[in-house]
Amino acid sequence: MWNGAENPHAQALDLELDWLSKMLDLRLEQHFQQLPHNPETAPSPPDLPADSELARWVSEMELGAPERLLLALALVPHVRPWALDLLFMRNQNLDRGFTEFGGIKSQAHGGFLPTGETAAFVIAGEHLPWRIRLLDCFDPQHPLTRRGLRLDMPPASEPRLAGALLLSNEALQRLSTGHADKPDYSAQFPAKLIRTELGWEDLVLAPEVMDEVEQICAWTQLEQRLMRDWGLSRSLKPGYRALFHGPPGTGKTLTATLIGQRAQADVYRIDLSMVVSKYIGETEKNLARVFDQAETRRWILFFDEADALFGKRGAASNANDHHANQEIAYLLQRVEDFPGVVILASNLRSNLDDAFSRRFQSMIYFPMPDVEQRNRLWRSMLPAQHMAADVEIATLAQRYEVSGGAIANVIRHAALTVLRDGRHQVGLAELRAGLAKELRKEGRTL
């Protein structure tokens, strides 16, 4: 039989919501008996199981009692929906709910849905300095906001705290179970998680290119120290934007994936065929679905063949041109405002809108590999035990100027050919046949 007490995450949520209930009882007592605001009478936050996700959040983000109460309120509708039923009481003098309690009554959910005003009542009461401090928790750079807590935008002209208190699905999953599922690729989520079994030792790049790549890796590891400890948040925007450009097969996608591996962050490749739409406004909506989810997670967004989406703007001679320019302007803004790492890859830098150049922290050219690099690529991809005696890797590397991606295709073709024939070693003839196929793709011959 399952026992919730054995689950440290469930136990932590129980303790936190019990504390919230005590705090709510105290606030209602102070409100109806007109008692003065006295922080010393407030119940102390509970000690949480050290191995719970909530305890990790409290420690990592250095959350105080106000921030913990705010997070607990956002959890209530999902975990203990009856806990705020007391706030449904009506003001007999006005025959309606109490203004101070805020809250929203939804169509499907039977419980009280907390708003920013509910949080202000529970956390601050009528204490104005604490109410003002609460607004800081909804700043885009606040740790809680970056983890998935946000205040929904209220209707136009209504107070900011009238918005609903929301918690992302990922944050709810992590706090409840300690982990979160990866979103699935679909029409509603046009991005695919990419991984690789290769390591940094398999990436063959020129030293100056590798140095620029290491700079991006350094940002993923040192961003918080630079922004917080060095005080650079006053002059630098959060996030990092990089452009990888160069011929196909030169390692742009593998590099992006390995950066994610080093940063222990998921890398999502945006499927441009699912994003771009001929209908006005749909392209922006499709991209917004990805950016909105990514902003509260440590994802790296990778736009392959980015010139299809981030191409040059032109003079707007008709409605379609005007719409295309609007799309690019929207994308520019979302990329610039994204607090994480965005990598754009293009075969030709000249195909991209010039406005992007000013927004990139790195513009890295991936050239065709030189002879030494091609030698390394051939030897790393083709195991020596499966290489026939007539194969001279040094000669292949010297004679044929091809990319790493092309070398991989040549080896695939050659290996399949010999296996179909019942052999176990690749000879020069099979490699030359594979090279001829690859060179024909580029309009070249052996």
- Identical fold, 191-365 and 371-441: no
Task: For residue range 170-202, list pLDDT tens digits in order.
Answer: 889 889 998 877 777 666 678 889 999 999 999
Strand positions, DSSP E, 318-361: 341-346
pTM of the model: 0.69
Please say if the pLDDT value at position 413 is more than 80: yes
Q: Phi and psi dihedrals of 36, rounded to 5? A: -70, 155
Please say if the pLDDT value at position 103 is more than 50: yes
- Reference 286, options 306, 270, 301; nearest CA is 270
- Reference 153, options 292, 314, 335; nearest CA is 292
d(CA 103, CA 353): 46
Range with the lowest mean pLDDT among 26-35, 77-86, 143-152, 349-358? 349-358
pLDDT at residue 1 in the model: 35
Triad 163, 140, 19: Cα angle to 5°: 60
The residue behind tokens 């054995």 is 6
Domain covering 371-441, topology: Helicase, Ruva Protein; domain 3 (1.10.8)
Q: How many CA atoms lie within 13 A of 309 on its CB side?
A: 24
Task: For residue range 51-75, list pLDDT tens digits in order.
Answer: 999 999 999 999 999 999 999 999 9
Task: For residue range 254-282, list pLDDT tens digits in order.
Answer: 999 999 999 999 999 987 766 766 666 67
SS3 state of residue 166: strand
Q: How far from each other are the two terminal CA atoms of the chain, in whole angstroms? A: 69
Q: What are the structural domain ranges in the chain? A: 4-177, 191-365, 371-441
SS3 state of residue 162: helix
Instruction: From the options 3.30.70.920, 3.40.50.1860, 3.30.300.130, 3.40.50.300, give the CATH code of 191-365.
Output: 3.40.50.300
pLDDT at residue 3 in the model: 47
Q: Decide: 245 and 346 in contact? Cβ < 8 Å.
A: yes
Task: For residue range 293-312, list pLDDT tens digits in order.
Answer: 787 778 899 988 877 666 55
